Structure formats: C-alpha cells, structure tokens
Structure 1
Amino acid sequence: MHRPPHSQQQLTAQFAELGVETGGLLVVHASLRALGAVDGGAETVVRALQGALGESGTVVVPTFTAENSDTSPDYRARVQGLDEEAAAAVRERMPAFDRLTTPASPTLGVLAETVRRTPGAERSAHPQTSFAALGSGAGKIVAGHLPDCHLGEDSPLARLYDGWAQVLLLGTGFDACSAFHLGEYRVPNPPRRTYRCVITTQGRRTWWSYEDVDLTDHDFAALGDDFERGCDSGTVKYGQVGDASCRLFHVTEAADFAKGWLPANRPY
C-alpha cells in the first residue's frame, strides 16, 4: 500500500516529541534519504525544524567545503593515480571559497545546502569548515569564526557548546557528529598540521596556508558507541522522525566525553 509523504505538521510534532527544545539551538546532521518522502522536500524539513524550535530558536548546519583544498582527503581521492601535470590541472580548477555563494559539500546532504540558501540564513566565514544558521541566534553563532580555527574555541562549535545546544542525528550515525571535533581541540597538546585552500583576497584567487589542529573523524563511530554506553541514562534521546531513526543529545556532553575518550584511544 502506497503511503502518503510525510507532512510538515507531522515532522514538527515528531521533532518536538523527540525532545527538540523550544527556543533552543539545534545542530542538525541529516540524511533526507533516510527520512523518506516529504511533501515539499528539504524546504519542508527546514520549516518543520523551525516549527519545533519556535521563533526564538535557531537551526545550525555544517556547510563545510573540501573542494577548495589540496590538503583534504577529497583532493587526495581526486588525484589518486594522476601524474603531476594532471594533478596540477585539478588544483588550477579548484574554486575559491566565497562565503555567500560557495555551496556546502555534497557529502553533507541536501538539508545543509537548503538551510544555507534559505532567506535570512547567515554563514560563518571559515573557508573550509563554515556553519550556516537560521533563526534568532544565527548572527551570534556564526560571528568571529577565525580562518585559522576550523572547529575550536574561535568557531561556532564553541558558541554552541556555551549555549547548551542540542545535536540532532537525523538518519545519520555518530561518524557525522561535528561536536566531537571540539574535543580534539581540548585534549592536552593536540597534534597540529598545515592546511592549504583557495580563497579570494581583494578580488583575486589566492592559495592560503595555515596551521591548525590535525582533525580526523575516522574513529567517531567507535567514539559514539562508547558515548552511548558510557553516558547517563537519558543523555541520548532516541526516536523516529519520518522513516529515520534519530538521536538527540547536547554538544556539551558530546564534546566533554570526546575530550576524555580521545587521549585514551588515539596514539597521540
């Protein structure tokens, strides 16, 4: 029997039942494929999130861009097997980051780009790990994202930590949880490395190099499994929205757990 697509009203009610806090900050990592058919598509999902959060709430999504960097896993995959001349051609075609027009990486899913393009949304200025926010607290969340701080104290993640923001994994796993990255900055003496990306400086396409914490999410699935097992009952809320299995928890608890877990489980 054919089921009708999920409606905005239904999704709003399910977000609220899951525990999305009215007036709160909510970081969303979403798979719309897992959510199933929605009447109106991604735009309806955004409105449903806004409905659950209310007029004083704010929805936040990562709008990361790996396509403008030659130190990213995306670049290494693109040039694997190419000779030096062909790899140089790939670098030459890389677009410079523009905060207003550069799309979020396709790997982040349709919802991230939909939020970024929604009228009233604001975006942080980091050329590789920007966030977009929509709602009353958007400007405060995205302000002051320094270009040499991917996901640390001078990024939206730290503002979300301080604001007791929630994380919604909507049909995604812990491997997508950006809050764990804040824990990488807060371990003692985290390893650092050099990054390079293409930016626009005074209207010109420019390569820029900077040093920051050496970030990886290769073990976030295992970290998330231990977070679920090790945290107090009720820290992670579970439920279904549309066809998607969901988890809901706070940035603060996830980042704090990661800060303790990482030194014991990574060969620093």
Structure 2
Amino acid sequence: MDQLAPHTVQSLASELRALGLTSGDVLLLHSSNRSLGFVAGGPQAVVRAVLDVLGPEGTLVVPTHTPDNTDPAGWQHPPVPEAWWPVIREHTPGFDRSCTPSRWMGVIAEVVRTWPGALRSDHPQVSFAALGRNAASVVDGHQLDDALGENSPLGAVYRLDGKVLLLGCGHRSNTSLHLAECRQVSPPQAVTGSSVRQPDGTDRWTTWVDVVADEGDFDRLGAEFEATGAVVIGRVGSAAARLMSQPVLVDFATAWMAANRL
C-alpha cells in the first residue's frame, strides 16, 4: 500500500481545494482512476469529491469519446482485416448519446457520463459529458465537422474561462490542445466517418471533413507550458495532479504550434 489510510471523499476534496480548484469553476477533467490509489467508495467517491468542491454553481466536464466508431481503415491498435471494413461500416450501431459507452477515457469519465443529470454532446467520435450549471451550454451544438474546435465543448470551456485538471495522466491526454490545432492557419484536414443514428432510428455510415488530430508533440508542448509556471502541480490521492487555466493553455499552445509545427 502507498498510504497509511484509504483516501476518502473528504480527503480528496481537501487536496483539490489546496491545488486551486474552487466553487463555481468550470472544470475539464482527464483522469486515471488507478493512479489515485485506494479510495473508499472508488470512482464514485472521486466524482463526489470533485462535485463537492465545484458546488452547485460549478460544472464538471469529461471526455466520453468513442474511437471504436471511426473508420476501420485507419485503425492501428490493433488493425483489422480490410475485408472487415465494409461490414463494420454497415453494421456498427449509430452513436446514441444516452447509451453508447465511452472507450479508453477511464472509469471516472464513465461514472460522470451515467451520473444523474449528466448531459452529453452528440458527436459520434469525440463526445463530452457535463454536470452542473453550465452543462447544457458546454455540450449543445457539437458539430460533426468541428469535433474539437470553436463550436465543440472545448470551445465552450474556453469561453467559460474553464480549468483543466490532469489527474494521474499527462499532457498526451490533454484534449484542449486540439483546440489549438484547430486555430492554426490551414491545419491539415482529412475525411473521417462514423455510424450516426438518424432521426428515424436507423443507422447510417456518414463521412465528413475535419482537422486531423495529432498528439505526437503534446508531451513536449506540455512540458514547455509547465516551464512557464502556469501549471499548479500537486498530489490528489496518490496521483500527480496538474491544474491549469484552459484559455491560458490554449493560447500558449496556439502560438507554440505556429512556431514549432511545420
């Protein structure tokens, strides 16, 4: 064991406040439940601690992405046989924000997605779920061809002067950096596709053009952002925690990408 006693809702909330999270904040949370160590009550207690700190005026946002509802032609981890591609495109159930589970976002994000009162955006690949005062304004109007741009939940968090908390994970998971990608002059774009639920309840494979997401330099970018002193680093439970202003992060990343990406 890495601690003398289990972490609790109360101890986690105290550590979140010490890190700088406050009542009324809009918080975009990326998390690794395993990194927290033993928490009495598990991920439910973690979410309760965050909500207790944010209070009734705050808003909690998490990524609830569904990367398995993307074009199988681009899958690498693992790839699937080319003969399977048309079958997957034809038979994958269309994204349903009420019941399609997220994948690879972590159990804490899934707890938020299913929490009473949670709202979820309607993007078949990169949806977000939100709880709290500004939840509707965060998730509404998520466009297919602006997945991580100005009209996405990331753009909404920016306009609400939100914060980002990396709880036990690094900047490669820092989705807000994709908003900076979308703000580049003529960013690379490509055709992408997903199975989309239609108004009549049928499913249809749908394609569109959007900015290509690239996390390859996010660790380097994040390290240089931390070097500016703009990130508060501490411990929450047994996890390393990084709290930052999302607009400050995105503005830095926008300039950094313009200078460092070809």
Q: What TM-score does the superposition give when structure 1 sets the normalisation length?
A: 0.92
Contact 1:23 1:53 in 2 (8 A): yes
Equivalent-residue separation in structure 1 for 2:85 and 2:78 (angstroms):
8
What does the per-residue CA deviation read over 1:114-171, in whole Å, with 9 as the maximum and x for residues that have no partner? 1000000000111111110011111111111112211101111111111110100001
Equivalent-residue separation in structure 2 for 1:92 and 1:6 (angstroms):
46
The residue identity in structure 1 corresponding to 2:127 is S
Q: For structure 2, which runs of at least 5 residues remain unmatched after alignment?
A: none
Structure 1 residue 87: deviation in Å? 4.1
Aligned residues: 260
Aligned counterparts, 1:124-163, within 5 A: 124-163=121-160
Instruction: Tell me the residue number matched to 2:184.
Output: 187
Is the aligned partner of 1:171 residue 2:171? Answer: no
The residue identity in structure 2 corresponding to 1:79 is P
Instruction: Tell me the residue number matched to 2:209.
Output: 211
Q: Which moved more, 1:184-193 or 1:11-20?
A: 184-193
Instruction: Tell me the residue number matched to 1:110.
Output: 107
Instruction: Tell me the residue number matched to 2:259.
Output: 264
Instruction: Tell me the residue number matched to 1:123.
Output: 120
The residue identity in structure 1 corresponding to 2:179 is L
Instruction: Tell me the residue number matched to 1:31.
Output: 32
Equivalent-residue separation in structure 1 for 2:131 and 2:85 (angstroms):
38
Q: Which moved more, 1:91-100 or 1:138-147?
A: 91-100
The change in CA–CA distance for 1:178 and 1:90 in structure 2 (over 3 A counts) is same
Instruction: Tell me the residue number matched to 1:56.
Output: 57
Structure 1 residue 98: deviation in Å? 0.5
Structure 1 residue 79: deviation in Å? 2.9
Equivalent-residue separation in structure 2 for 1:103 and 1:141 (angstroms):
19
What does the per-residue CA deviation read over 1:1-31, in whole Å, with 9 as the maximum and x for residues that have no partner? 7733211011111101100021110010000
What does the per-residue CA deviation read over 1:38-97, in whole Å, with 9 as the maximum and x for residues that have no partner? 111111111100111111111110111111111675x333335x3x32444444553321
The residue identity in structure 2 corresponding to 1:244 is A
The change in CA–CA distance for 1:89 and 1:31 in structure 2 (over 3 A counts) is same
The change in CA–CA distance for 1:224 and 1:98 in structure 2 (over 3 A counts) is same
Is the aligned partner of 1:198 residue 2:214? Answer: no
Structure 1 residue 204: deviation in Å? 1.1
The residue identity in structure 1 corresponding to 2:79 is V
SS of 2:77's equivalent in the other structure is helix
Is the aligned partner of 1:225 residue 2:226? Answer: no
Contact 2:181 2:254 in 1 (8 A): yes
SS of 1:113's equivalent in the other structure is helix
SS of 1:252's equivalent in the other structure is helix
Equivalent-residue separation in structure 1 for 2:193 and 2:203 (angstroms):
13
SS of 1:182's equivalent in the other structure is helix
Aligned counterparts, 1:73-84, within 5 A: 75-80=75-80, 82=81, 84=82
Q: Which moved more, 1:177-186 or 1:87-96?
A: 87-96
Q: For structure 1, which runs of at least 5 residues remain unmatched after alignment?
A: none
Equivalent-residue separation in structure 2 for 1:88 and 1:71 (angstroms):
9
Equivalent-residue separation in structure 1 for 2:175 and 2:85 (angstroms):
30
Q: What TM-score does the superposition give when structure 2 sets the normalisation length?
A: 0.94
The change in CA–CA distance for 1:8 and 1:62 in structure 2 (over 3 A counts) is same
The residue identity in structure 2 corresponding to 1:219 is D
Instruction: Pick the aligned partner of 2:248 from 245, 253, 258.
Output: 253
SS of 1:14's equivalent in the other structure is helix
